A and B are shown apart, each in its own frame.
Chain A
Amino acid sequence: MNDLSASSQIIHRAVLVRPGVVRRIRGLSDKALAWLFITPTIVLLLAINIFPLVWTIYLSFTNYRANRANAPTKWLGGEWYQSILTDPDVWAAMQVTAHFVIWTVVIETVLGFGLAFLIDKKFRGHGLWTTIILLPMMLSPAVVGNFWTFLYQPQIGLFNYVVAFLTGRDASSFQMLGDVTLSPWAIVIVDAWMWTPYVMLICLAGLRSIPDYLYEAAEVDRASKWRQFWSITLPMALPFIMLAVLFRGIENFKMFDMVNLLTGGGPGSTTEVASITLKRAAFESWRTGYSSAFAIILFVTVFGLANIYVKALNRVKSR
């Protein structure tokens, strides 16, 4: 009792006067403490996330331009939304984004699950090798993207040299970043290099959660390894694979940093994913109202995905 602060001693004296409320009054009440603990976080998020979001919604209905802040602002209603949803450039960007998201997710899931399956065989030194494999996903996507531009150089780059060595083509005969057909794959390769370990890690957790007795029972029933894989391994790991797919899907839908440094959306607009279109509209041509409307459209899309994600997450948790 020595370390009770002065203020709580005062409260104690007050309690002596009214013994009926001893329990509730000692220190702060739980309810007050709960709000005291939670409010700062909520206030910060309201100030730096929600208030700007509301502001964006307002701007998306106006002709405001951030580089002409003093010009009179006119209310335009839903004009921007209409023009965005009918703009062929926006749909082109959405197609680029879809190509990027679908291929990265497919490659990362197949490779990631395959790796997890192999690591789950618990060979000697698997812990060390797992940590090494995990490294790329911890690095800064911007710094990594920047360095891959060096690896992709047509004459001097290591990537081109290795491809040339393996295929017998000339190393300067193809440009991963400057070619219209190759550049969408160049960004997929870097993303897969970075994020396959992420899917691997989640799948590994899924595989390790499968109890041994299921396999033992299958062995007793003389089910083939093939059958065991399709009837036990895959269904049991599926919620984890789904979780990884959703996380990667959302993250790559928002992709900006790595692609911005690798190609900046080029050549032309062949790698212009939605975030880069948004950046160009907002911070290069300063069409603030237009880009706000586009931002809201993207946000609603991601939010829809997030809802699905939380449902999947709860299913994983409830297992």
Chain B
Amino acid sequence: MSLSNAAHSIVEPSISTRRFAGSLVVLYAIITMIPLIWIVLTSFKSPDDAISYPPKILFTPSLEGYCNLFTTRSRQTPEFIKTLGPPQGLCDGIARDRNMVIAGPSNYVPRFVNSLIIAFGSTVLAVALGTLSAYGFSRFRVPLKDDLLFFILSTRMMPPIAVAIPIYLMYRTLGLSDTRLGMILLYTSVNVSLAVWLLKGFIDEIPREYEEAAMIDGYTRFQAFVKVVLPQATTGIAATAIFCLIFAWNEYAFAVLLTSGNAQTAPPFIPIIIGEGGQDWPAVAAGTTFFLVPIVVFTVLLRKHLLRGITFGAVRK
């Protein structure tokens, strides 16, 4: 293929141009990856290696960061530790080498579970509401349609702190402060605008003729929606759901201002993982790594729809 020039248009870049462009992009990609790689490396370092100067690239891997992430430990005298039986499991052994015993599980798992429940709960709600509205806006003549759509979008333009003030007061009155339900409703209201805009784009692309044919066959409009439109829109719905999931998963401003214990998610929790004598960087790195992995997977899954998602459906390919 490389030998035949027949298929080449005169505007195709030459091979040397491509190589040059490619090497610059690869260089940028490598530089941009260094902070992320550093997070993952740090999570496998011992606390001493993590804060050594110069920074260590080669080190003996340790699971101490992950152990510290999931447990709380208390300092004991070596004499007391000798009276205990053999260490139970890897983490117990690591802790005893530092004259500590494991006192119990840390709060990371409950915070992570909160993140999961709140992200999935709000995503399901936002996508369900968004699909219905998007179909309504896509297919029917709705009075003031453009104004309503702009209104839905504009709710996303508010600075989160500005919204948090009255939400804080409202939730305090309603007893929704620091509850998962409160956070689910809040994230749903933020995500629904994205869901409506994205899904309207996806549904607009499904030909109306499909439903009209179904309705001539005796389906009601609602049945046509459920049995014809929804299956056609599956990809769009899945992409929208992942975008909502990522937003709720990453959100920090509302979470840090409106939750404290019960409903706190992982983003406000990870920065306050403290070890003895300051921040426990390997544990913070471990918590960060654990938290970022799902997003990396989702990014790879979403890559074809990313553009649409980040522009509210304004740019399609």
Q: Measuring CB to CB, which residues of chain A are less than 8 angstroms from any residue of chain B?
A: 1, 3-4, 8, 26-28, 30-31, 33-38, 40-42, 44-45, 47-53, 55-56, 59, 66, 115, 118-119, 121-126, 129-143, 146-148, 150-151, 153, 155-158, 161, 171, 193, 196-198, 201-202, 204-205, 208, 212, 215-216, 219, 240, 243, 247, 250, 253-254, 256-257, 260-261, 274-275, 278-279, 282-283, 288, 291-292, 295-296, 298-299, 302-303, 305-306, 310, 313, 316-317
Contact = CB atoms under 8 A, between A and B. Distances in A.
22 contacts: A30-B221, A37-B132, A44-B188, A45-B151, A49-B158, A49-B163, A118-B21, A124-B18, A143-B267, A143-B271, A150-B279, A150-B284, A161-B54, A161-B55, A216-B9, A216-B11, A254-B160, A256-B161, A261-B252, A275-B160, A295-B162, A306-B154
A146 B288 contact: yes
Chain A CB within 10 A, most for which of B135, B161, B185, B252: B161
A60 to B, nearest CB: 10
A121 B163 contact: no
Nearest to A154: B53
Interface in B177-209: 185-186, 188-189, 192-193, 196
Given A136-B36, A243-B311, A147 B157 contact: no
A310 to B, nearest CB: 6
Contacts of A129: 22, 25-26, 29
A146 B252 CA distance: 12
Given A193-B35, A201-B307, A298-B159, 6 more contacts: A37-B135, A115-B25, A143-B267, A150-B42, A193-B32, A215-B11
A36 B221 CA distance: 13
A216 B38 CA distance: 46
Contact of B303 (A3, A48, A131): A131
B6 to A, nearest CB: 16
A111 B139 CA distance: 41
The dominant DSSP class at the B interface is helix
Contacts of A37: 132-133, 135-136
B213 to A, nearest CB: 15
B52 interface: yes
B140 A135 contact: no
B53 A171 contact: yes
B39 interface: yes
A40 to B, nearest CB: 5
A132 B132 contact: no
B81 interface: no
B310 A48 contact: no
Given A52-B170, A123-B19, A31 B140 contact: yes
Interface in B283-317: 284-285, 288, 291-292, 295-296, 298-300, 303, 306-307, 310-311, 314-315, 317
A201 B306 contact: yes
A91 B181 CA distance: 38
A299 B159 CA distance: 7
A30 B307 contact: no
B259 to A, nearest CB: 13
B116 interface: no
Nearest to A38: B136
Contact of A142 (B51, B137, B271): B271
A150 B271 CA distance: 11
B63 interface: no
A61 B270 CA distance: 38
B34 interface: yes
B218 interface: yes
A28 B25 contact: no
B168 interface: yes
Given A140-B249, A142-B250, A143-B288, A131 B25 contact: no
B152 interface: yes
B257 to A, nearest CB: 6
Contact of A140 (B196, B291, B300): B291
B60 interface: no
Given A140-B291, A156-B55, A126 B25 contact: yes
A126 B21 CA distance: 10
A104 to B, nearest CB: 16
Contacts of B42: 150
Given A122-B18, A123-B25, A33 B257 contact: no
> What 6 A-B pairs are tightest by C-beta distance, nearest first?
A27-B220, A123-B22, A52-B166, A295-B162, A142-B252, A140-B250
A278 B161 contact: yes
B35 A151 contact: yes
Chain A CB within 10 A, most for which of B35, B186, B268: B35
A257 to B, nearest CB: 4
Contacts of A156: 50-53, 55
Nearest to B140: A34
A47 to B, nearest CB: 8
B25 A38 contact: no
Contacts of A130: 303
A160 B148 CA distance: 50
A132 B29 contact: yes
